[in-house]
């Protein structure tokens, strides 16, 4: 039985994926020491040969942690995550992009929180951007007094990286970006949809996620196109007004 599926989405990261592998393997070793059984599902979404080779070698010999590799042609982060969820076999799942890093304790702590409360969605307590941009982002508990549901109308509270039950991800797949129509930010939209469905979004104490900001990324393309999140046709939160275009 697998407790946690790590879905790693890869594209054309090349040698940058090597550092991500080291970070992921440290987290897997820590989780195994805590009794968490993991698997790795690598989604090679339009990946180039160097990225494919580095990841196959990096996850080919992780003790007691099976690894599978999917070749996909989604061209979209949400679509790639959906394909990984389809293939996953864990009780819970989490994500990692192939040029990002996680704190060593993230997998173990997130799996424990998800097991304790499988109806909730768990995020790292803090995310740190590096690369082209640098900033620090603390993630708010949607059940705390600091949370304002109307804030989600104009900005996002949480990054795309989360941990939740596999069933929850399958019931709420990510919407693919549609920049030709002016819509994007699949993670922001997913956060709004799942919150509206009654799933709390909560930080896992003392965990970190480090994500690379680079030119040409999906996020950069959405910003360049002035993309906005899809409109919600139902109330996002009890007491919050519905937006009906």
Residue range 49-68: mean pLDDT, rounded: 92
Strands (E), the chain: 4-10, 38-45, 67-72, 92-97, 101-102, 121-131, 135-138, 163-165, 201-213
- CA dist 103 and 209 (Å) reads 6
Distance between first and last Cα of the chain: 46
- CA dist 209 and 51 (Å) reads 21
How confident is residue 218, by pLDDT bands cut at 50, 70 and 90? low
Write out the two tokens for 50. 């160097």
pLDDT of 91-135, one tens digit each? 999 999 999 999 999 999 999 999 999 999 999 999 999 987 888
Q: Which of 81-85, 137-141, 163-167, 216-220 has the lowest mean pLDDT?
A: 216-220
Domain 4-224, classified CATH 3.30.70.3280, yes or no? no
- CA dist 90 and 69 (Å) reads 16
Taking each helix axis as running N to C, give the angle between helix 49-58 and helix 16-33, from 0 to 180 degrees, rounded to the nearest 10: 20
For 63, list phi and psi in degrees, rounded to 5.
Answer: -60, 130
Residue range 166-193: mean pLDDT, rounded: 81
**Residue 169 CA, distance from chain mean position:** 11
Is 97 within 8 Å of 211 (Cβ atoms)? yes
For 91, other C-beta atoms within 10 Å of its C-beta total 18
Query: How many CA atoms lie within 13 Å of 72's alpha carbon, on the beta-carbon side?
Result: 26
How confident is residue 61, by pLDDT bands cut at 50, 70 and 90? confident
pLDDT of 13-48, one tens digit each? 999 999 999 999 999 999 999 999 999 999 999 999
* pTM score, whole prediction: 0.86
């Amino acid at each position: 039985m697998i407790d946690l599926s790590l879905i790693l989405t890869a594209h054309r990261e090349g040698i940058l994926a090597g550092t991500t592998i080291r970070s992921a393997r440290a987290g897997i070793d820590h989780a195994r020491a805590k009794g968490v059984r993991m698997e790795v599902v690598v989604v090679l979404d339009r990946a180039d040969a160097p990225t494919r080779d580095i990841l196959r070698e990096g996850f080919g010999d992780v003790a007691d942690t099976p690894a599978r590799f999917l070749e996909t042609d989604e061209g979209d982060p949400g679509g790639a995550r959906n394909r990984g969820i389809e293939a996953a076999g864990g009780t819970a799942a989490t994500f990692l992009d192939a040029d990002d890093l996680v704190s060593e304790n993230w997998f173990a702590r997130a799996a424990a929180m998800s097991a304790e409360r499988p109806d909730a969605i768990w995020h790292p307590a803090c995310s740190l951007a590096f690369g082209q941009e640098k900033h620090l982002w603390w993630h708010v508990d949607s059940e705390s007094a600091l949370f304002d549901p109307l804030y989600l109308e104009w900005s996002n509270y949480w990054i795309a990286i989360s941990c939740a039950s596999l069933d929850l991800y399958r019931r709420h797949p990510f919407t693919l970006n549609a920049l030709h129509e002016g819509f994007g930010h699949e993670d922001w939209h997913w956060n709004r949809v799942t919150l509206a469905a009654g799933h709390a979004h909560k930080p896992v104490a003392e965990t970190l996620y480090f994500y690379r900001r680079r030119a040409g990324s999906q996020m950069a393309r959405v910003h360049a196109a002035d993309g906005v999140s899809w409109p919600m046709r139902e109330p996002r939160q009890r007491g919050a007004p519905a937006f009906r275009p």
